[in-house]
Amino acid sequence: MNAIVKPEAEATPAFPIPANVFAETVTEVKHYTDSLFKFRMTRPASFRFRTGEFAMIGLPNAEKPVFRAYSIASPAWDEELEFFSIKVPGGPLTEHLQKIQPGDTVLMRKKPTGTLVLDALVPGKRLYLFSTGTGIAPFAGIIRDPDTYEMFDEVILTHTTRELAELQYGRDLVDAIASDEILSEIVGQKLRYLGAATREGTPRGERITTMIENGSLFSTLGLPPLDPAVDRAMICGSMAMLKETAALLEAAGLEEGANNKPATYVVERAFVD
Ligand SMILES: Cc1cc2nc3c(=O)[nH]c(=O)nc-3n(C[C@H](O)[C@H](O)[C@H](O)COP(=O)(O)OP(=O)(O)OC[C@H]3O[C@@H](n4cnc5c(N)ncnc54)[C@H](O)[C@@H]3O)c2cc1C
């Protein structure tokens, strides 16, 4: 009897993998909306990163694959790597990436980088994580990292999207922390979450910049106004959101930091317009 050979074209890279690239196996895929999904994949034993950094991701579907920046959404202690992705219609990477299944191969360049790291902030009392859309991805790692709660007494994650369904990934994260035996003990009551959809819901959510400007962010959470002596912030979103939010933080006296010059807030683009 002839053996039946199962084609494994999708799981097996069709082109040689360059030396500066890892080829990893997808372990889980979850779709949230027509435009958002998360995936998890194996983590190479030699891959080290700081929670909040990003890496370049691609697919083994061409001799010169398209690589795009992706925030690592899992914390540095996790034995797998997690990513939260947009699906851009006709997007050179995501029109293919959105079709991945467990068992498929995803490529990742070996060197991570980024500014949304605890090292780029000076110590403080309260950490604000301001995100829109897929900008929540780096904070998905930060809120699951015990170091965050060593450094700060309070962590406030804000996530603004257009539609309610786009908030689900963040809501699931916060619920998962609460039901995780170890993390819930470390996090305790320190994590606050504020999700708002600007085109749906009752009452309709406001943009984060509006909430900072009119003070509703602070009154809703029962917090004092921004204070550079104790408040620290990370921002991840569109270019416009970054600019506007950073200007409000600067007006409150916060200063932008970097890896080589820690200060009171840091920013990273969630995508290039
Ligand atoms: C530092 C950094 C970190 C990033 N992290 C992530 C991440 O964690 N998850 C993620 O999905 N993307 C992230 N991106 C964007 C990502 O690099 C790609 O742009 C995205 O995957 C789409 O790739 P593409 O080739 O399909 O389309 P592209 O040609 O890259 O993009 C086409 C257009 O789609 C829009 N777009 C791209 N990405 C997004 C997005 N995330 N949200 C809304 N609109 C977008 C832009 O208008 C862009 O011009 C990041 C970008 C940067 C610079």
Q: Are residues 232 and 137 in the same domain?
A: yes
Range of the domain at 154: 118-267
Which pLDDT score is estimated for 12?
66
Q: Tokens 């309260």 correspond to what residue?
A: 126
| pLDDT, position 2 | 46
**Ligand 1 nearest-atom number relative to CA 90:** 26
| Buried/exposed code over 91-113 (b: 16+ C-beta within 10 A; e: otherwise) | eebbeebbebeeebbbbbbeebe
Helix and strand element counts for the chain (H, E): 8, 11
Any domain includes 76? yes
> For a pocket test of ligand 1, which of 38, 67, 83, 88 has the largest count of ligand atoms closer than 8 A to its C-beta?
88
**Is residue 70 within 8 Å of 83, Cβ to Cβ?**
yes
Report yes or no on 272 lying in a domain: no
Read off φ and ψ for residue 108, nearest 5 degrees: -140, 125
User: Which CATH number characterizes residue 39's domain?
Assistant: 2.40.30.10
Residue type, 76: A
Q: Report whether 123 contacts 129 (CB < 8 A).
A: no
Q: Distance between CA 77 and CA 191 in Å, rounded?
A: 19
Residue 256 included in any domain? yes
Please report the pLDDT score of residue 15 as a whole number: 82
Compute the distance from residue 260 Cα to the ligand 1 centre, in Å: 26
Give the atom of ligand 1 at the shortest distance from the alpha carbon of 138.
8
Nearest C-alpha neighbor of 251 from the set 202, 210, 213: 213
Q: Is residue 169 lining ligand 1, measured as CB closer than 6 Å?
A: no
User: Would you say the CB of residue 165 lies under 6 angstroms from ligand 1?
Assistant: no
Q: Read out DSSP for 62-111?
A: SSS---EEEE--S-TT-SEEEEEEE--TT-TTHHHHTT--TT-EEEEES-
Q: Point out the domain boundary residue: 63, 89, 109.
A: 109
CA distance 99 to 97: 5
Return the H-helix or E-strand segment holding 218: helix 216-221
Same domain for 96 and 187?
no
Same domain membership, residue 102 and residue 184? no
Q: 86 and 174 share a domain? A: no
Asked whether residue 66 is domain-assigned, the answer is: yes
- 189 found inside a domain: yes
Q: 232 with 126, same domain? A: yes
Domain boundary among 109, 135, 158: 109
Q: How far apart are CA 198 and CA 205, in angstroms?
A: 5
Same domain, 37 and 160: no
Q: What is the CATH number of the domain that holds 127?
A: 3.40.50.80
Distance CA 117, CA 241 (A): 19
Do 163 and 78 reside in the same domain of the chain?
no
Q: Among 150, 34, 31, 9, which residue's Cα sits nearest to residue 88?
A: 34
Residue 5 lies in a domain: no
Which residue's alpha carbon is at the smallest distance from atom 47 of ligand 1? 273
C-beta 116 within 6 A of ligand 1: no
Same domain membership, residue 211 and residue 136: yes
pLDDT in tens, the chain (273 residues): 444 444 444 556 778 888 999 999 999 999 999 999 999 999 999 999 999 999 999 999 988 999 999 999 999 999 999 999 999 999 999 999 999 999 999 999 999 999 999 999 999 999 999 999 999 999 999 999 999 999 999 999 999 999 999 999 999 999 999 999 999 999 999 999 999 999 987 777 889 999 999 999 999 999 999 999 999 999 999 999 999 999 999 999 999 999 999 999 999 999 988
Best of 35, 49, 86 to mutate for ligand 1, by most ligand atoms within 8 A of CB?
A: 86
Query: Do 208 and 80 share a domain, yes or no?
Result: no
Does 100 share its domain with 122? Answer: no
Regarding the beta carbon of 94 and ligand 1, being less than 6 Å apart is answered yes
Q: Answer yes or no: do 97 and 150 share one domain.
A: no
End-of-domain residue from the set 50, 76, 109: 109
- Assigned domain for 251 exists: yes
